[in-house]
Structure 1
Amino acid sequence: MTIKASWKRLALATVALLLLVSTWTAQPTRAAVPSLDTIRVAMFLQLPGKYESMTAAATFQSAGGIKIGTREPSGIKEWFAVEANRSVRFAVDDYKVKLFESANFANAWAVYQHVQSARGMGYITSVSKNGAAQYQVFEGTYTTALESAAAVGRWNADAKLTGLLGGFKPAQHGPLRLESPAMESKAAAQAAAASFGGAGLDAYVAVREGAKGAVYSVLVGGASTPDELKNLQAAAAKAPNGASLKPSNLTAPYMLIRADHSISGKGDASHELYSFPAGDIKVWASPASAGPIGLTERSNRTYRGSFELSAFNGKLAVVNELPFEQYLYSVVAVEMYTSWPIEALKAQAVAARSYALNKGFGFQIAHVVDTTLSQAYYGTGVEKPSSTEAVEATKGEVALYNGKVIEAVFSSNGGGTTADARDVWRNEIPYLQSVSSPDTSAEAGLNSWHRVVLPSGLLGYIREDLVKDTGQKTAAGSRILELTTDGTNIRRHPVIQDSIPVVAQLKKGDRVTELEKVIQSNPMSWTRGPFTGDELLNSINARVNPKLTGPITSVEISARGVSGRATEMTVNGTKIVLPSPDSIRSAFGVGESLPSTLFSVEETGKMVLQGAGGAQSTKSDGSRQVYVMGADGKSSAYNGDHMYVMDSGGDIRAVTKNPAFSFSGTGFGHGVGMSQYGALSLAQQGYDYQYILKYYYKGITIAKE
């Protein structure tokens, strides 16, 4: 019996068993449980080894306007306001590389685009100098002059960039500047900056907190070292009013204002970019009205609450702070289909609340992050009445084990049986045990796909509604199908995956030969591959050290956990050392992680050859020539990429010329804790959220603050 079939039978048995068990609806236990008024969610954060999501700048806007200020131990201090629907950007004023400067916006834009394509952290701004706009491209967010100097070296070695620069020499740009005396208004500071710019100096308006509101001044230059600052001061002294400029106070909070063109992409349209020093300052952006704040760099999503911006570990950190229960409005809506039964959504709400409380300040300056490393959090745009109702109906309820809130992990689909924590992370957690899970609801209403052989000899999958049966068959009895639409993609796996290149594209009337018919890959059951030995070698070597030496000729599951999941893999007879069993998914997934570790492996290059007198031999790679005898009794060498072998039951297997490996499995995700599709099935059978939670998390109680 295949693993896939065994888990399906187990799931059906589980459903039958559950129908014999009556539900319970006891009220939540009332006890002292952890609670949280507000939660801090990191959107961008540099935390090496745990979470790294970086941006050069963060762009905010709100239909009701935004109040900008600083967060201090004494409270929030408002500096100024941004009017409704106007975008404003923030960055750290640290050490950077000034890559380019030109009066030609198109040239500067080309440099900026190259920086983006090279995964640099940059932006394009303008400054008035000598009576004309000069467009400047800056890159990086470096903590020291030494780091920015090294970055200059790296960019100088970029041949394509050198061609775009037209002779301009990249240089360091730092936060050491000269500053004018304070001025009464922003307009006065803008006029003074234009005057200094007329003398050929880089001059920017800056804002600081004053006794009665914002105070403005002009900051000049961008030196990286004290010597550079001295040279700047000497040059500035020759400009009108240059003698009034003094070295700026870097210890007092300020925001330097630049005209930024990174978002508009136009030389005549810009947004204000506020750069704050890389010290203890915490910039605070809060809504001026009831409307949410949008964050451009997070897919233009909008968020409840306020934002804190700071320099953390030398990079821009962006943290969304909002009421805890309102955070769950979004999490539940993202993590579970909002059309599912309310009891499933309630179970998700309690699990998500418990998970977040269990983590504490898991990311130093934040409780959680907004990705699935914690829980997916996409702001207000995904909120739906049903998911919000589930949060409100369970407000304050958490899952406890021995009086402590549990780490209520969950995954999309348990594949018929959830994982024991030992199967995935090698640690034993009493409430995270393997249980049977009714997960086949994920397959409801899905199309079937045909695995087919193309006239070119290539193999792939095509959806059943894109072909028709011609009524004809091959000599081996396989059906011949005809395509009914033009431009039909033949896919590598039986599912639409935009990230995976198609095998081929055929036109209406083309014919293909069917090998088998399977259900569309889904969270319950899936197929990936076959992957060549070289593909697997590259994927594995990206995650292990020391590296494997090819070629790969065999892949085996050498150990399974209590739930049947792969916990150890061997390649060419050697154990692959990975951080955890769950890492198998990424190591053996080509182009994407395998959906789960509950799978079997088929070595598609291996076949047993029957010789004369009953002798058998095994072919596992292309080193041995295979000869095929025809109806005329003559034999010839077979040189195709695939050989199609029929077994005694009439099933045809595609054998690859060279070693290749196909993975077939069940489940989606790590599989530990609550299965979301299992929760769906239980809710459809009439079980309430408490039953669902207690079924998946063994020995817990549900408590409410």
Structure 2
Amino acid sequence: MTFKASWKRLSLSIAALLVLVSTLSVQPSRAAVPALDTIRVAMFLQLPGKYESLTAAATLQSAGGIKIGTRGPAGTSEWFTVEANRSVRFAVDDYKVKLIETANFANAWSVYQHVQSARGMGYISSVSKNGGTLYQVFEGTYGSAQESAAALGRWNADAKLTGLLGGFKPAQHGPLRLESPALESKAAAQTLAASIGGAGLDAYVAVRAGAKGAVYSVMVGGASTADELKTLQAAAAKAPSGASLKPADTASPYLLIRADHGVSGKADSALELYAFPAGDMKVWAAPGGAQPIGLTERSNRTYRGSFELSAFNGKLAVINELPFEQYLYSVVAVEMYTSWPIEALKAQAVAARSYALNKGFGFQIAHVVDTTLSQAYYGTGVEKSSSTEAVEATKGEVALYNGKVIETVYSSNGGGMTADARDVWKNEIPYLQSVPSPDSSAEAGLQSWYRVVLPSGLVGYVREDLVKDTGQKTAAGSRILEMTTDGTNIRRHPAIQDAIPVIAQVQRGSRVIELEKVIQSNPMNWVRGPFTGDELLKAINARVNPKLTGTVTSVEVSARGISGRATEMSVNGTKVVLSSPDSIRSTFGVGESLPSTLFNVEETGKVVVQGAGGAQSTKTDGQRPLYVMGADGKSTSYTQNYMYVLDGDGDIRAATKDPAFSFAGTGFGHGVGMSQYGALSLAQQGYDYQYILKYYYKGITIAKE
């Protein structure tokens, strides 16, 4: 729905359709204002069609230690404690494919890296076996033997993997095992596992809950079927203490402990990985002290509250549960600059609180996710005193329309005019109407860029402080500029971002010709392109059905909404079928989504040629040659990539030889609801947070529980 009101972070805002507030997630207070004590935030979750964020394992650590246990209807049960600053991993103990088993760590690591590059769910672990250490690489988190068999077939067809295996034959690996009786300690379990491993069997320490704390045992093997388990039992009977091994009860909670090398990447350094059964078991990880818990797979961020890990829809689900108001400490700090006026931050706090309450259990086992599909949530590391103050000062306050919490969607910049909900999602919502928005504050302090022609004929942008005026001009009156630094990047768009391609590098003293001067692309004003017809065709066809065919020769906005935003696009005169007007941003963006749908399209390959007797001809592509007459009266075919056209006002237009399309627009995000830069401007003018909210959300009231 939202994203940080920041050009630097460039996280795109995404909005879903309205979801009614679940009565399971919010309970009415005496004032009939919804309240929520704790919120569940999905960090990793498999929810096909709505949200998919997957990880093979989750790595937790805390400076204060972590209490590990289980969670059930009756509450939580602590099993054991992980000491301070020690990292441990968690994964689902389900069906997998064993890709390799070798004494050579380098070989195993190469296989593991290949799995990662192929976007597989990989694990690399070690086991004491046959008197030495063997390294094993597993792939997948599959719900059945049939699924892992299909995966085995896919990996066997991978020619590169086959070359890395050195003759090892991949096989299925399942969660069916044998188990020893309970042992007196973890050390005793480690000794027995080493003894059984010496007989050539995979043996692991396991832990279960006992009446007086953790109880340890040894689990052996990894069968996928009942027949495989019988074969395993026959082989185990010949091993030391093998007669005591019985089929493990995989229906009751347990943690199987593996030595995992995926984080360290070293043979002599491993973390304990706790694998839990893919049933109803929920692992509970709570801070052992006052320090938050870190999650390595989320950029090593640290989080308040506790973590719940479970198997959901066949994949590892990682949920952070914490006090609702403390969740907002992070959201407000991410979604809005913490240096902005406190009234703007208060407006953001009420909007963020209302949005979360409006969604209820929007993700089945979680209220929200930690990405911009809900609201950006980055844990404790981003919290600042100003944003926390804004949350505390508005504690419990929400925006209501007709007595119900509204969906307080917001975006970075409204581009001078916010969008009506109909402009973006086709649904009419009385409090989400188009209003003028004072958004130009986004341009404060930004530098200008020159669009220039290089000696090579390429056209791009360079920042104004990297060139100087030579005082000379071309015959057409354009200024000639000179580069003042070596290795200066000429960019496709006037901004420095990783997603913006560098088209050339030029050295000090090189001269370029100025075409125009523009403000740096920002959340208020931006340019993208020109994109070639082939680039647009590839981008569009990645997201639409039916696919477009043929060469793209024209692109136009064929319908606009109340706020002037594009609501329909046509390519080659035919309407493009889109899921919603807002999807125009992702569909027509090359390399990245367009910042907003409030834009104009320039067909840079389109040129109107004035002929004899006033006759006009329109050139739209490079199929027909264009002839230019020189001073000697002779004409020649023009073959350069760009043609420079001077209009009556002296402005020069860089027309492309082949069809290409440039987008120039205003605003950043979907544009519905509160504009964050608009909130900044209103706060700077002295308006308070309630005025700001009521300005952007029509007909609402602000209430507190």
Give the TM-score taking structure 2 as reference length: 0.95
Alignment of 1:15-164 (within 5 A): 31-164=31-164
Alignment of 1:131-280 (within 5 A): 131-280=131-280
Alignment of 1:292-691 (within 5 A): 292-691=292-691
Range 476-485 or range 346-355, more displaced = 476-485
Range 626-635 or range 357-366, more displaced = 626-635
SS in 2 for 1:508: coil
Shift of 1:547: 0.8
8 A Cα contact 1:534 1:550, kept in partner:
no
Distance in structure 1 (CA, Å) of the matches to 2:505 and 2:465:
16
8 A Cα contact 1:261 1:271, kept in partner:
yes
For 2:253, the aligned partner's letter is: P
For 1:152, the aligned partner's letter is: L
CA deviations on 1:79-120 (whole Å, 9 max, x unpaired) are 000000000000000011111111111111111111111111
Distance in structure 1 (CA, Å) of the matches to 2:32 and 2:561:
36
Shift of 1:162: 1.3
Distance in structure 2 (CA, Å) of the matches to 1:103 and 1:484:
57
Shift of 1:536: 0.5
Distance in structure 2 (CA, Å) of the matches to 1:30 and 1:664:
51
Distance in structure 1 (CA, Å) of the matches to 2:487 and 2:30:
61
Shift of 1:31: 3.1
Distance in structure 1 (CA, Å) of the matches to 2:404 and 2:313:
32
CA deviations on 1:158-201 (whole Å, 9 max, x unpaired) are 11111111111111111011111111110000000000100010
SS in 1 for 2:163: helix
For 2:578, the aligned partner's letter is: L
Distance in structure 2 (CA, Å) of the matches to 1:499 and 1:677:
23
% of aligned pairs identical?
A: 85
The match for 1:291 is 291
Distance in structure 1 (CA, Å) of the matches to 2:557 and 2:646:
26
For 1:52, the aligned partner's letter is: E
Distance in structure 2 (CA, Å) of the matches to 1:483 and 1:380:
44
Range 232-241 or range 689-698, more displaced = 232-241
For 2:290, the aligned partner's letter is: A
Distance in structure 2 (CA, Å) of the matches to 1:116 and 1:527:
36
8 A Cα contact 1:466 1:484, kept in partner:
yes
The match for 2:6 is none
Distance in structure 2 (CA, Å) of the matches to 1:475 and 1:340:
48
Distance in structure 2 (CA, Å) of the matches to 1:605 and 1:213:
74
Distance in structure 2 (CA, Å) of the matches to 1:269 and 1:406:
51
Distance in structure 2 (CA, Å) of the matches to 1:628 and 1:261:
67
SS in 2 for 1:274: strand
8 A Cα contact 1:30 1:704, kept in partner:
no
8 A Cα contact 1:66 1:288, kept in partner:
yes
Shift of 1:268: 0.2
Which aligned runs of 4 or more in structure 1 are off by greater than 4 angstroms?
none
SS in 1 for 2:523: coil
Distance in structure 1 (CA, Å) of the matches to 2:152 and 2:453:
53
CA deviations on 1:518-561 (whole Å, 9 max, x unpaired) are 00000000000000011110111011111110210110111100
For 2:98, the aligned partner's letter is: K
Range 329-338 or range 480-489, more displaced = 480-489
Shift of 1:501: 2.6
Specify whether residues 687 and 30 from structure 1 end up closer, same or farther in structure 2 by C-alpha distance, changes over 3 A only: farther
8 A Cα contact 1:566 1:581, kept in partner:
yes
For 1:233, the aligned partner's letter is: Q
Shift of 1:500: 3.1
For 2:582, the aligned partner's letter is: D
8 A Cα contact 1:351 1:399, kept in partner:
yes
For 2:590, the aligned partner's letter is: V
Give the TM-score taking structure 1 as reference length: 0.95
Range 276-285 or range 648-657, more displaced = 648-657
SS in 2 for 1:297: helix
CA deviations on 1:408-463 (whole Å, 9 max, x unpaired) are 00000000000000000000100000000000000000010000111111111000
CA RMSD of aligned residues (A): 0.9
Shift of 1:625: 0.4
What runs of 5+ residues in structure 1 fail to find an aligned partner? 1-28
CA deviations on 1:358-404 (whole Å, 9 max, x unpaired) are 00000000000000000000000000000000000000000000000
Shift of 1:295: 0.1
The match for 1:698 is 698
SS in 2 for 1:354: helix
The match for 1:22 is none
8 A Cα contact 1:30 1:703, kept in partner:
no
For 1:51, the aligned partner's letter is: Y
The match for 2:282 is 282
Distance in structure 2 (CA, Å) of the matches to 1:553 and 1:362:
42
Distance in structure 1 (CA, Å) of the matches to 2:319 and 2:550:
45
For 2:464, the aligned partner's letter is: E
SS in 2 for 1:471: strand
Range 563-572 or range 501-510, more displaced = 501-510
For 2:494, the aligned partner's letter is: P
SS in 2 for 1:503: strand
Shift of 1:582: 0.3
Distance in structure 1 (CA, Å) of the matches to 2:550 and 2:279:
50
Distance in structure 2 (CA, Å) of the matches to 1:373 and 1:450:
36
For 2:57, the aligned partner's letter is: A
Distance in structure 1 (CA, Å) of the matches to 2:695 and 2:140:
50
For 2:34, the aligned partner's letter is: P
Distance in structure 2 (CA, Å) of the matches to 1:232 and 1:479:
82
Shift of 1:238: 1.4
Distance in structure 1 (CA, Å) of the matches to 2:422 and 2:635:
53
SS in 1 for 2:97: strand
Shift of 1:30: 9.3
